[in-house]
Amino acid sequence: MNKALTNKILITLAFLFAYRILAYVPVPGVNVDVIKDFFDSNSNNALGLFNMFSGKAAQRLSIISLGIMPYITASIIMELLAATFPNLAKLKKERDGMQKYMQIIRYATIVITIVQAIGVSVGLQSLNGQNGEQAIMIDMNLFIAIAAASMLTGTMLLMWIGEQITQRGIGNGISLIIFAGIVSGIPSAISGTINLVNTGEMNFLAVIGIFLIVLLTIGIIIFVEMGERRIPISYSRKVVMQNQNKRIMNYIPIKVNLSGVIPPIFASAILMFPSTIMQASTNSYVQAVYDFLNPNSYVFNFLTFLFILFFAYFYASITFNTKDISENLKRQGGFIPGVRPGENTAHYLNEVASRLTFSGAIYLGLISTLPWVLVKFMGVPFYFGGTSVLIVVSVALDTMRRIEAQIYMNKYQTLSAVGL
């Protein structure tokens, strides 16, 4: 393995290790045992889902207990605004403008983090342990200030770690942070399942059924994520002669799932954000809505399905710009056989992408909700959804592709250096 690639992998692992260390640094002034008991008793609702995405940092009330979700929520807001306001979309396409765009996202992340941190702090005020001990051991006003500052620092550190992994490591940093958080909970999930079997709360046949569902889900994810539609491209003879010593791609690859894991992550962030705020309220109506958004309910999973459909179309329209592709093809002397260059090419690509996006959106929605329905039907007493499996498998596949691309690039550089 090339030294540069080895260094990138080691840098990625080092930053992920730092992320896991931060998950064990609690906010000052809290009784960690009380909070852990509270999350153990709410493992099958919105808090359990939130705890899973934070890598079990929430049950320790770590400084990164809010996870990377505030940053993702800010990114969703900015993407929606960029799709609405042309000037903001233009700012995103420019090199200098992209830096300003990312800076706005960071400022929005700060605001969202402070709001969520205050909401969590106020919600902990009425939390007591089994023996009557309080979750907060210092003055309430002081704790809110300390918690807001601590969680803001933790979220900013997570955001910085994600950016460093993207720039200096292998893979997408934000996706890998979520990946590491989910994977870190696998050993405890396995031990918890074994305990349920030993105590008779779960049938061994149900465990086999869950295992088969997970394997089937992984197989479907790999099959669809590797699938793509290749649209053939022809080039004029003049372009081919000019580039006879260079490789010209003779097709446009369009993935079945154009939007990747972004729609499930966005959907989870949208649905978990109000739950985080509402848990601080003692109002009966707010609590009713909070219970209504329980991840272990059909309503939550139906909303998840709808949000995934929306974000799949929305994000695919951003990442796959048919107008820009058609203009680049026309500029390079390329064309799709049987389709006129220009607007006709953009219209043709848009039709193909729309059909694939529909299939990809249905696939994402079913993968994220159907495993939960099957597990619910089996009577399993804990939350299990396909979203976590989808994120883990998709991020692993994407990271493997990037490593392979890096290896091939190093081989080409070596061959060119020796004159081959």
| Per-residue model confidence (pLDDT) at position 153 | 92
| Per-residue model confidence (pLDDT) at position 384 | 59
* Pairwise CA distance, residues 76 & 315, whole Å: 10
Handedness of CA 325, 326, 330, 331 (dihedral sign): negative
pLDDT tens digit sequence for 241-285: 555 555 455 788 888 888 888 888 778 777 776 666 665 566 677
pTM value > 0.85: no
Token duo for residue 388: 């976590």
* Pairwise CA distance, residues 326 & 334, whole Å: 9
* Closest among 263, 309, 261, 255 to 79, alpha carbons compared: 263
Which class for 419: exposed (0-12), middle (13-18), buried (19 or more C-beta within 10 A)?
A: exposed
> Any idea which fold 203-419 has?
Preprotein translocase SecY subunit (1.10.3370)
pLDDT tens digit sequence for 345-402: 888 888 898 889 999 899 988 888 887 777 677 665 555 567 788 888 888 888 888 8
In the structure, what pLDDT confidence band is assigned to residue 44 with cuts at 50, 70 and 90?
low
DSSP one-letter code for 124: G
Token duo for residue 9: 């992998």
**Domain 1-183 bears CATH identifier 3.30.70.330:** no
276 vs 118: which has the higher pLDDT: 118
Token duo for residue 32: 């960690």
pLDDT tens digit sequence for 164-200: 998 888 888 888 888 888 888 777 777 777 887 787 7
Enclosing H/E stretch for 231: strand 228-232
The CATH 1.10.3370.10 portion of the chain extends over 1-183, 203-419
Cα 413 to chain centroid distance, Å, stands at 33
* Pairwise CA distance, residues 12 & 88, whole Å: 32
Pairing of β 234-235 and β 334-335: antiparallel
Token duo for residue 72: 């993702």
- 306: CB partners within 8 A, 6+ apart: none
| Per-residue model confidence (pLDDT) at position 236 | 67
| Per-residue model confidence (pLDDT) at position 109 | 92
